[in-house]
């Protein structure tokens, strides 16, 4: 990962198996690490921690306020 304002290195590329991509506005998490992140910039690389790919969190249906 790079800082939001960091320039991408010219020789940067995704390694095989880490090129699943990340989607803007989606939450990703890892239960083993207790980590949850919000993707603020989409990309080709897979978000991971300790060698495990983070999984997309499902949205939670909120009750209506009728």
pLDDT for 1 beyond 70 = no
Reported as a single tens digit per residue, the pLDDT across 24-51 is 999 999 999 999 999 998 888 899 898 8
How many domains, in total, are found in the chain?
Answer: 1
In a domain, 3, yes or no: no
Is the whole-model pTM more than 0.75?
no
Q: Pick 2 or 65 by higher pLDDT.
A: 65
pLDDT value of position 65:
80
Q: What CA dihedral angle connects 36, 46, 33 and 40, to 10 degrees?
A: -20
Q: Please, are residues 48 and 28 in contact by the beta-carbon 8 Å criterion?
A: no
Q: Cα–Cα–Cα angle for 42, 29, 5, nearest 5°?
A: 35
Name the residue range of residue 35's domain: 27-56
In a domain, 17, yes or no: no
CA 8/CA 28 separation, integer angstroms? 22
pLDDT value of position 19:
82
Place of tokens 């909120």: 62
Q: Pick 66 or 32 by higher pLDDT.
A: 32
């Amino acid at each position: 990962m790079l800082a939001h304002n960091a320039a991408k290195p010219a020789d940067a590329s995704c390694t095989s198996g880490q090129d699943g991509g990340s989607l803007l506005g989606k939450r990703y998490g890892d239960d083993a690490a207790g980590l949850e992140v919000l993707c603020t910039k989409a990309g080709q690389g897979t978000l991971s921690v300790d060698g495990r790919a983070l999984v997309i969190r499902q949205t939670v249906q909120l009750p209506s306020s009728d």
